[in-house]
């Protein structure tokens, strides 16, 4: 069995997605270990294609992954294009298809129709369920940063990618104006996303209220509603009482700005069922309530792409050692971490009924969001 996988890093089809799951310096580490890496051209990726070529990666036109060898792993971050209808490869990316989200059955059906498989990065865990590669810290950081900048009237749309120094300068500058006395609450403050959110708020001159498992076990709703900014970083894996409801927003006191880092909007596990649509880079803020007590929402599902270089390098540093454990030429997935990923796919396929004609594969509550 070959232990030298072929990784094919596709271009992202979303124009606002500038991150990459694998940075050039980590691609170099994998090439040195014998991996074959193909990197597609991309007009949006923060890392130049030449940097990958310089460390021994092959290059290919954008979208050419559909013709990649069948043994290749197709590596990405966000959604696939609608074509091809049948997916024959093993894909590694954030699929958002295991909790009944909109389009989940259709996506899983594309894999089963083509005999491919989804190795979802969200389910890349150790044997205790802890995520092994995540964008969590930078998702929380950027989500909280956007929330406080909007609250202080300093957020401009459309959003554009930036660097950490520039974003921090904007946060520090905002601390000298209106809103310095704002109260902010971070739910899930002990997780990676929560720590990032707390750090961004501190940079903006706000010492946040920090809630985690103990504080949400018996929710003090009045205390929650007494904050001006709410940043949610808790991702539910089963339905539970929500943190905030539409009725809460009808009252006289509630957060003026809600940043949902999890963006689990179409799932029954959504902890903030006060909205039905995500926001985006062109329209980062949506008004949920008008009147004397307005409420605004920020729910962007690729928040770390605001800091594509920092977020990409941090994620790549966690991911590349796991990629090195992938099997090569055959279709087996034997490494325990990746086998758990594949098992999660099989379970989701069976649960959604998308497994008609599904070929066999050769393989034996709540947590902090690591938003994508």
Q: Which residues are catalytic?
A: 78, 96
Buried-state track 308-336, b at ≥16 Cβ within 10 A, e below 16? bbbbbbbbbeebbebbbebbbeeebbebe
Q: In angstroms, rounded to a whole number, what is the distance separating the alpha carbons of residues 288 and 296?
A: 5
Strand order in the sheet with 117-120: 58-60, 36-40, 6-9, 73-75, 90-93, 117-120
Q: In angstroms, rounded to a whole number, what is the distance separating the alpha carbons of residues 189 and 140?
A: 10
Which residues contact residue 366 at a Cβ distance below 8 angstroms, ignoring those fewer than 6 apart?
213, 234, 235, 236, 237, 238, 240, 271
Which pair of tokens denotes residue 148?
Answer: 């406080």
Which string of DSSP letters, residue by residue, matches 297-353?
EE--TTGGGGSHHHHHHHHHHHHHHHHTTS--SSS---SHHHHHHHHHHHHHHHHHT
Strand order in the sheet with 229-232: 209-211, 184-187, 229-232, 257-260, 295-298, 286-289
280 three-class SS:
coil
Contact in structure between 64 and 9 (CB atoms under 8 Å): no
């Amino acid at each position: 069995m070959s232990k030298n996988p072929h990784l094919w890093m596709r271009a992202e089809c979303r124009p606002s997605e500038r991150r990459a799951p694998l940075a050039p310096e980590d691609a170099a580490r994998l090439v040195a270990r014998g991996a074959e890496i193909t990197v597609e051209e991309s007009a949006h990726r923060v890392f130049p294609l030449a940097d990958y070529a310089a460390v021994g990666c092959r290059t290919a036109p954008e979208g050419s992954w559909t013709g990649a060898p069948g043994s290749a792993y197709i590596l990405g971050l966000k959604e696939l294009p609608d074509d091809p209808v049948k997916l024959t490869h093993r894909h590694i990316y954030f699929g958002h298809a295991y909790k009944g989200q909109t389009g989940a059955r259709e996506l899983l059906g594309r894999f089963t129709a083509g005999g491919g498989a989804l190795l979802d990065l969200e389910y890349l865990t150790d044997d205790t369920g802890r995520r092994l590669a995540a964008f969590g810290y930078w998702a929380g950081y950027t989500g909280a940063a956007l929330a406080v900048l909007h609250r202080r009237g300093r957020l401009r749309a459309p959003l554009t990618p930036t660097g950490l120094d520039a974003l921090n300068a904007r946060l520090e500058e905002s601390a000298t104006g209106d809103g310095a006395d704002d109260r902010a609450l971070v739910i899930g403050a002990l997780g990676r996303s929560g720590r990032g959110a707390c750090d961004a708020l501190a940079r903006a001159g706000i010492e946040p209220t920090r809630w985690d498992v103990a504080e949400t076990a018996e929710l003090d709703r009045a205390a929650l509603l007494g904050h001006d900014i709410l940043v949610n970083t808790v991702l539910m894996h089963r339905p539970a009482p929500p943190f905030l409801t539409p009725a809460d927003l009808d009252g006289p006191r509630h957060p003026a700005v809600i940043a949902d880092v999890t963006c689990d909007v179409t799932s029954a596990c959504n902890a903030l069922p006060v909205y039905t649509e995500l926001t985006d880079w062109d329209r980062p803020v949506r008004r949920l309530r008008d009147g004397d007590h307005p409420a605004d929402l920020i729910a962007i599902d690729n928040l770390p792409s605001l800091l594509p270089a920092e977020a990409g390098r941090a994620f790549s540093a966690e991911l590349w050692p796991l990629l090195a454990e992938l099997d090569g030429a055959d279709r087996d997935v034997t490494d325990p971490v990746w086998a758990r990923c594949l098992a999660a796919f099989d379970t989701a396929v069976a649960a959604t009924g998308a497994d008609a004609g599904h070929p066999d594969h050769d393989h034996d509550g709540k947590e902090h969001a690591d938003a994508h």
